[in-house]
Amino acid sequence: MSELIIREMENGEEFADWFADLTEREEAASGEPIHLDEHYLILSNAIGDWIGGLRYSLRGGVAHLTEIAVRAEERHQGHAHRLLEAFEQHASQLGAHLIEFWTDDVHGEPEFLAHGWHRVLRRPGYQGGRTWYLMEKRLAPPV
């Protein structure tokens, strides 16, 4: 038997596509939610310059927002809220029944509550040693 090696995937390798295909086939065979489908939503201006975006994953009907960012000079114009609304719409169209994300910004919670989000969990000493909150929102089936 040859020597086995574990390493981190390099940029440009085709492993991610191979692995996605493998997990999709495993999910189809078992019926269990195994495959993690990653998506990006991009916000750009009229000439195509990127302003910001977000990354989320979808597994078993749950869409998990992992990252959201807006260029510093474009902040405080509602772009992040536009991206969150788009996340909700896209996740619903893909069959998600629940969307969620972690945040350490408890000051933004009232606005999330006003838009149907709920705090599910408070986790002290989590990432960076700070307290983080898991927010979720149940989605109605797409019309």
DSSP letters of 60-100?
TTEEEEEEEEE-GGG-SSSHHHHHHHHHHHHHHHTT-SEEE
Range of the domain at 54: 39-138
- Give a yes or no: residue 3 inside a domain: no
Strands (E), the chain: 37-44, 50-59, 62-70, 98-103, 118-123, 132-138
Number of domain units in the chain? 1
- Give a yes or no: residue 26 inside a domain: no
Query: Using CA atoms, how far apart are residues 10 and 100, in angstroms rounded to an integer?
Result: 29
- Give a yes or no: residue 113 inside a domain: yes
- Give a yes or no: residue 131 inside a domain: yes
Residue 5 — pLDDT band, cuts 50, 70, 90? confident
Query: Using CA atoms, how far apart are residues 110 and 106, in angstroms rounded to an integer?
Result: 8
CB 124 within 8 A of CB 133: no
CATH number of the CATH domain containing 56: 3.40.630.30
- Give a yes or no: residue 96 inside a domain: yes
- Give a yes or no: residue 15 inside a domain: no
Q: What is the pLDDT of residue 143?
A: 67
Name which of 86-95, 107-116, 128-137 the model is least confident about. 107-116
Residue 118 — pLDDT band, cuts 50, 70, 90? very high
pLDDT in tens, 85-111: 999 999 999 999 999 999 999 888 888
- Give a yes or no: residue 50 inside a domain: yes
pLDDT in tens, 34-65: 888 899 999 999 999 999 999 999 999 999 99
- Give a yes or no: residue 48 inside a domain: yes
